[in-house]
């Protein structure tokens, strides 16, 4: 059962999503070789609480952390550790926040120092997949069209599209109907309507699309242990097209400043 959101509800999701956006911006300032995901996690929890919200992941399904930090071959759901990040790593930082009863949830994959060209390309294409999926989220389409658009772009570059993990509806629960796969067939699936609020989150692998879960019960890694990238935005369908409720502006402001130094 899909709960289509009113304009007021969409604004509440936006408020929570923007807190997540600012948290990712804080992470962007701190992330570098030698920093531990555990340190970033504690910073994020304090920041979210200081903004009158609750960490969206902490305690959800037994999650022990505010952030999910997935390094290199980890696709998603990595638990923060005290292992320092190294030059050449990539790390998906996924974050949630809940304020006024509504959730925000989005993610960004960071480069740690200089990374290999083929990994940079993976991040570039995965980010493109996100915006291609958002563009396809309109009332002329069905959810299958969104997945199809993402899948075609990723696979045209020879990448694997994860099947076991998908985007989702978002609102008073972190995970609502409908599922939003990153693969699909044109003209199939739920019709997209105004008031739909979803998290679109391509998870794209450099090699095989196949994944497995580690013994910690959380971390999902690529079966061939090649790198994976993950970007996520929250969007609402308003006046027939997708409106992005989250933003990467806070992250990009930091990365642009670093390049200018």
pLDDT digits (tens, 9 = 90+) for 198-222: 999 999 999 999 999 999 999 999 9
Q: Within a domain: residue 225?
A: yes
pLDDT by residue (tens digit) across 5-23? 999 999 999 999 999 999 9
Q: Within a domain: residue 1?
A: no
What's the domain count of the chain?
1
Percent of the chain topping pLDDT 90: 97
* Averaged pLDDT, 93-109: 98
Percent of the chain topping pLDDT 70: 99
The answer for residues whose C-beta is within 8 angstroms of residue 239's C-beta and 6 or more apart is: 194
- Residue 177 has φ and ψ, to the nearest 5°, of -70, 150
Q: Within a domain: residue 160?
A: yes
CATH number at residue 127: 3.90.230.10
Q: How many Å apart are CA 34 and CA 24, to the nearest integer?
A: 18
pLDDT of residue 103: 98
pLDDT, the chain, mean: 97
Q: Is the pLDDT of residue 155 over 70?
A: yes
Q: Within a domain: residue 246?
A: yes
Q: Is the pLDDT of residue 148 over 80?
A: yes
Per DSSP, helices labelled H in the chain are: 7-30, 37-50, 117-135, 143-156, 249-260
Q: Within a domain: residue 130?
A: yes
Q: Is the pLDDT of residue 257 over 90?
A: no
pLDDT by residue (tens digit) across 160-189? 999 999 999 999 999 999 999 999 999 999
Full-model pTM: 0.97
Q: Within a domain: residue 2?
A: no
pLDDT of residue 260: 67
Q: Is the pLDDT of residue 258 over 80?
A: no
Q: Is the pLDDT of residue 261 over 70?
A: no
- CB of 105 within 8 A of CB of 170? yes
Q: Within a domain: residue 95?
A: yes
- Number of neighbours of residue 259 by Cβ within 10 angstroms: 7
The answer for residues whose C-beta is within 8 angstroms of residue 111's C-beta and 6 or more apart is: 90, 119, 120, 123
Q: How many Å apart are CA 97 and CA 57, to the nearest integer?
A: 7
For residue 221, give the 3-state DSSP assignment.
strand
* Averaged pLDDT, 86-98: 98
Residues spanned by the domain of 14: 7-260
pLDDT by residue (tens digit) across 185-199? 999 999 999 999 999
Q: Within a domain: residue 152?
A: yes
């Amino acid at each position: 059962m899909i709960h289509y959101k009113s304009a007021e509800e969409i604004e509440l999701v936006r408020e929570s999503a923007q807190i997540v956006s600012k948290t990712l911006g804080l992470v962007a300032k701190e992330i570098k070789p030698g920093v531990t995901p555990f340190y970033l996690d504690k910073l994020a929890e304090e920041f979210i609480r200081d903004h009158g919200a609750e960490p969206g992941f902490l305690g959800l399904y037994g999650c022990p952390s505010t952030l999910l930090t997935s390094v290199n071959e980890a696709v998603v759901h990595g638990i923060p550790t005290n292992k320092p990040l190294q030059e050449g790593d990539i790390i998906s930082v996924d974050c949630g926040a809940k304020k006024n009863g509504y959730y925000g949830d989005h993610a960004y994959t960071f480069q740690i120092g200089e990374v290999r060209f083929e990994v940079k390309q993976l991040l570039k294409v995965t980010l493109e997949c996100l915006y291609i999926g958002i563009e396809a989220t309109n009332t002329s389409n069905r959810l299958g069209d969104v997945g199809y658009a993402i899948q075609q772009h990723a696979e045209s570059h020879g990448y694997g599209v994860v099947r076991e993990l998908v985007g989702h509806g978002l609102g008073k629960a972190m995970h609502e109907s409908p599922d939003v796969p990153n693969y699909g067939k044109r003209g199939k699936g739920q019709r997209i309507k105004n008031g739909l609020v979803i998290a679109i989150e391509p998870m794209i692998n450099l090699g095989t699309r196949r994944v497995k879960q580690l013994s910690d019960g959380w971390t999902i890694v690529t079966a061939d242990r090649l790198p994976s990238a993950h970007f996520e935005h929250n969007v609402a369908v308003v006046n027939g097209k997708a409106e992005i409720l989250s933003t990467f502006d806070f992250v990009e402001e930091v990365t642009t400043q670093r390049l200018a130094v």
